[in-house]
Amino acid sequence: MLKSNFYVIKLKRNFIPLVFLFFTFCLLFFSKSNLPAVKSGLSLWANSVVPSLFPFFVATELLMHTNIVTQLGNILNKYMKPLFNVRGEGAFAFIMGIISGYPVGAKIAANFRQNNICTKEECERLLSFTNNSGPLFIIGTVGILMFRNTTIGILLFITHILACITVGIIFRFWKRVKMSSNYSNLSNSGMSNTKTVSFSNLGEILAESITSSTSTILLIGGFVVIFSSIISILKASGILNILSSLISPLFHTLNIDTSFITPLFSGFLEITNGINTISSIACKKLSINIIFTAFLLGFGGISVLLQVLSITSKTDLSIKPYLYGKLLHGLLAAFYTYIFINVLPFFNFDL
């Protein structure tokens, strides 16, 4: 009995190294299918992610060195506080998170915490609802390129924002009792630690912003490539097919085509690959494709979750509100999309 307990303890201690070793073995064993997947992931990152996100990263970094955060805080505090129970400065994370896309909202929330602009509880509330898919991705990439329909993209963007706001209102109660000390002095002390941009230091600030943005965009690229590889291994090994067969009875009961199962698993890991496959499934009830896409856009996938975790790990922020918030965001976005499709004939694309 003692010997078996020893092996269990040893297995727990070496579990993560064993997983990494197994992943390395799979990369070698499934290299034939893995190499095209890695190339596809790199192409996706270079052609879609970098052009749409990198300029926003630089712009966000530059704006953090101006007084716009304080100005937005003064103007929008009367709206942000009653709705989301965060200081007015949180409006900057909310607006930029909607405009830019993943993971800008989380990056700003982490910056707010590092610069002591908001309390720990407020930044965790911001994490739950400010990290969103951007209009360029939802309307441009998903709507126009994948579904080949601008109206679908607009529908998905509307329901995405509605779900985001709902999550923010619900999470206003997150750790409401626990309030950090020195609350009233946070904004001033936080902004004093940030170097303000001027003509004399514009070059220096721009260089710092580009360096920081490059680091973030390379991090995202690494996640996209790794998860493209993981999805390829799961497909080649037959694991995705086994999971599909286990869940297929539920889909039969709900009268949903089982061809959606594998793309949903892929999207749960990495949203772009999953949504691309879902949009290409031929189905008379196109509303099913759209509703599943709405869920994945809201949830964001494990890949984005790990990106956010890598950002928040530099702070004392908990990842729990983000995880709970994104699950709720996905469910609400799917629900709102279902309501819009069934209530407004304009958004019903079923044959």
Ordered by start, the domain boundaries in the chain are 33-347
- d(Cα 27, Cα 152) in Å, to the nearest integer? 37
The per-residue pLDDT for 180 is 47
DSSP H or E run through 106: helix 104-114
- b/e sequence 304-338, b meaning 16+ C-beta within 10 Å: bbbbbbbbbeebebbbebbbebbebbbbbbbbbbb
Task: Find where tokens 């984005």 sit.
Answer: 304
Retrieve residue 142's tokens. Answer: 């998903």
Residues 290-334 have pLDDT tens digits of 999 999 999 998 988 988 998 888 888 899 999 999 999 999 999
Residue 193 is predicted with a pLDDT of 53
The percentage of the chain sitting over the pLDDT mark of 70, rounded to a whole number, equals 89
Rounded CA separation 224/89 (Å): 31
Instruction: Return mean pLDDT, the chain.
Output: 83
Inter-CA distances, 46 with 39, 78, 213, Å: 10, 41, 15
The per-residue DSSP string of 46-102 comes to: IIIIHHHHHHHHHHHHHHTTSSHHHHHHHHHHHHHHHHHSS-TTHHHHHHHHHHH-T
Structure tokens at 278: 């879902």
Token pair belonging to 257: 């085509």
- pLDDT value of residue 46: 84
> What is the C-alpha separation between 258 and 26, in angstroms, rounded?
27
Percentage with pLDDT > 90 across the chain: 19
In this predicted model, which residue has the larger pLDDT, 179 or 91?
Answer: 91
Residue-by-residue DSSP string for 141-175: IIIIIISS-HHHHHHHHHHHHHHHHHHHHHGGGTT
Condensed to tens digits (0 to 9), the pLDDT of residues 108-153 reads: 899 889 888 888 899 999 999 999 988 888 888 888 888 888 999 9
Report how far residue 216's alpha carbon sits from residue 177's, in angstroms, rounded to the nearest whole number: 34
277, pLDDT greater than 80: yes
Q: What is the pTM of this model?
A: 0.82
In this predicted structure, which of 65-74, 141-150, 158-167 has the lowest mean pLDDT?
65-74
Burial class (CB in 10 A: 0-12, 13-18, 19+), 281: middle
For 294, other C-beta atoms within 10 Å of its C-beta total: 31
As a whole number, mean pLDDT of residues 46-71 equals: 79
pLDDT at residue number 225 = 87
pLDDT value at 94 more than 80: yes
Residue 26 has pLDDT above 60, yes or no: yes
- The predicted structure's pLDDT at residue 170: 93
Q: Which residue has the higher pLDDT, 336 or 274?
A: 336
